[in-house]
């Protein structure tokens, strides 16, 4: 299968490609993707070029994979056109809809579809969200999980986790190229020292001018995240938290106390900002502006080799060994074609 929407990745001159980074109305300038050696053990992102194979994967032909991509892209297109999540999402055999809810306090939420299955002890759901409130950002995600969201109880029930993954693969059958493909599974097994278990599948359809602000995905009990690019292209600033802190110190010539900076960085994640007191909030928004809106700082990270351009078939491993030993990351949409990615939490099967 030829990868769809391949954008600007051939480089006949041998020089690194240059990418203009635009997100949510901001132009963060042009950066180069400079290859660097990285290691999971150092909490560094690991880029695996072309590891998602489009043909020959277990139970998946090239035609099946293409149909799987198109099915998922149609769900996102339907949502952008105002379609109902319940009408758009295919369910695996034996799954049934229990209801639909919308959290009116969350301006980014479109709808949550509640689903029951004999395979899952707990209620499953898929939640559709915009990624930002920016009027020219059509980026969407579908998160598949189970249980009570407020209790964060999604780590401790392998049967429900497997059913949530089956639900995600019904919406995006091409996801099996990741979860059952030899390449990704072997790459994770080497790093985890055990067979990987996949958790919390999230399908992303990034749109031009969209992406995600700097954040981390550390959750106790989860070893990291794998993001697989299935269609289109995304650009990632991905860097270990302690290295990112070093760049903040060098760039600002302040924050001499590393422990205070590492703690303050968590407040700079967008979801946490509103919870802090006034001075912590001011510090957090200064840091968030530096991380997400500063051209010179963005260029600095890219020049140090922390910018990665993903095209269809590539995967990025984002380790998270501990609160401060974790790959922070920020995402940009590259190009304007159809865009689809699958993110999966990973834990070791014990």
Q: Which single residue brings its beta carbon nearest to Fe ion?
A: 217
In whole angstroms, how close is the CB of 56 to Fe ion at the nearest point?
29
In whole angstroms, how close is the CB of 331 to Fe ion at the nearest point?
8
Cβ closer to Fe ion: 233 or 234?
234
Cα–Cα distance for residue pair 298/343, rounded to 1 Å: 24
Cβ closer to Fe ion: 57 or 223?
223
Query: In 3-state terms, what secondary structure has residue 160?
Result: helix
Cβ closer to Fe ion: 217 or 314?
217
In whole angstroms, how close is the CB of 2 to Fe ion at the nearest point?
28
How far is C-alpha 240 from the chain's CA centre?
16
Cβ closer to Fe ion: 115 or 318?
318
Cβ closer to Fe ion: 44 or 217?
217
Cβ closer to Fe ion: 52 or 202?
202
Q: Which of 77, 79, 97, 64 is nearest to 169 (CA)?
A: 64
In whole angstroms, how close is the CB of 279 to Fe ion at the nearest point?
28
Cβ closer to Fe ion: 75 or 344?
344
Binding-site string for Fe ion from residue 183 to residue 222, where x marks contact by CB under 5 A and - marks none:
----------------------------------x-----
In whole angstroms, how close is the CB of 130 to Fe ion at the nearest point?
16
**Do residues 340 and 72 lie in contact, with contact meaning Cβ atoms separated by under 8 Å?**
yes
Residue list 5-44, contact with Fe ion (CB under 5 A): none
Cα–Cα distance for residue pair 216/330, rounded to 1 Å: 9
HSE of 128 in the Cβ direction (CA atoms, 13 Å)? 26
Cα–Cα distance for residue pair 44/38, rounded to 1 Å: 6
Buried b (16+ CB within 10 A) or exposed e, 21-40: bbbbeeebeebebeeeebeb
In whole angstroms, how close is the CB of 91 to Fe ion at the nearest point?
27
Q: Which of 155, 174, 143, 164 is nearest to 62 (CA)?
A: 174
Query: In 3-state terms, what secondary structure has residue 5?
Result: coil
**Do residues 309 and 334 lie in contact, with contact meaning Cβ atoms separated by under 8 Å?**
yes
Residue list 217-276, contact with Fe ion (CB under 5 A): 217
Q: Where are the alpha helices (DSSP H) in 128-272?
A: 158-171, 176-179, 182-192, 241-252, 258-267
In whole angstroms, how close is the CB of 121 to Fe ion at the nearest point?
27
Interface size with Fe ion, residues (CB under 5 A): 1
In whole angstroms, how close is the CB of 110 to Fe ion at the nearest point?
20
Residue list 118-177, contact with Fe ion (CB under 5 A): none
Look-up of token digits 């055990």: 194
Cβ closer to Fe ion: 91 or 331?
331
Binding site for Fe ion (CB under 5 A): 217
């Amino acid at each position: 299968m030829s990868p769809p929407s391949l954008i600007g990745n051939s480089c006949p001159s041998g020089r690194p490609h240059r990418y203009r980074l635009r997100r949510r109305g901001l132009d963060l300038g042009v950066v180069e993707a400079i290859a660097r050696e990285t290691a999971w053990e150092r909490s560094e992102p690991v880029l695996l070029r072309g590891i998602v194979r489009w043909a020959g994967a277990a139970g998946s032909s090239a035609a099946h994979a293409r149909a799987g991509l198109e099915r998922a892209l149609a769900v996102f297109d339907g949502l952008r056109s105002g379609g109902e999540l319940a009408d758009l999402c295919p369910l695996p055999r034996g799954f049934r809809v229990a209801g639909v809810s919308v959290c009116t306090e969350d301006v980014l939420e479109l709808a949550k579809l509640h689903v029951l299955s004999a395979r899952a002890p707990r209620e499953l759901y898929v939640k559709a969200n915009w990624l930002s409130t920016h009027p020219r950002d059509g980026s969407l995600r579908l998160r598949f999980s189970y249980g009570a969201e407020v209790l964060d109880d999604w780590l401790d029930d392998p049967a429900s986790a497997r059913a949530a993954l089956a639900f995600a693969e019904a919406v995006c059958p091409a996801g099996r190229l990741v979860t059952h493909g030899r390449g990704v599974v072997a790459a994770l097994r080497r790093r985890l020292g055990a067979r990987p278990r996949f958790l919390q599948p999230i399908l992303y359809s990034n749109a031009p001018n969209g992406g995600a602000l700097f954040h981390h995905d550390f959750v106790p009990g989860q070893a990291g995240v794998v993001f697989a690019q299935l269609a289109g292209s995304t650009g990632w600033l991905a860097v270990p938290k302690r290295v990112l802190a070093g760049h903040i110190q060098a760039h600002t010539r302040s924050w001499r106390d590393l422990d205070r900076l590492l703690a303050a960085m968590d407040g700079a994640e967008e979801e946490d900002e509103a919870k802090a007191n006034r001075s912590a909030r001011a510090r957090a928004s200064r840091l968030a502006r530096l991380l997400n809106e500063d051209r010179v700082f963005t260029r600095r990270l890219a020049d140090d080799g922390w910018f990665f351009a993903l095209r269809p078939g590539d995967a990025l491993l984002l380790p998270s060994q501990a609160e401060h030993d974790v790959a922070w990351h920020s995402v940009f949409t590259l190009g304007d074609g159809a865009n689809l990615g699958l993110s999966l939490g990973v834990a070791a099967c014990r």
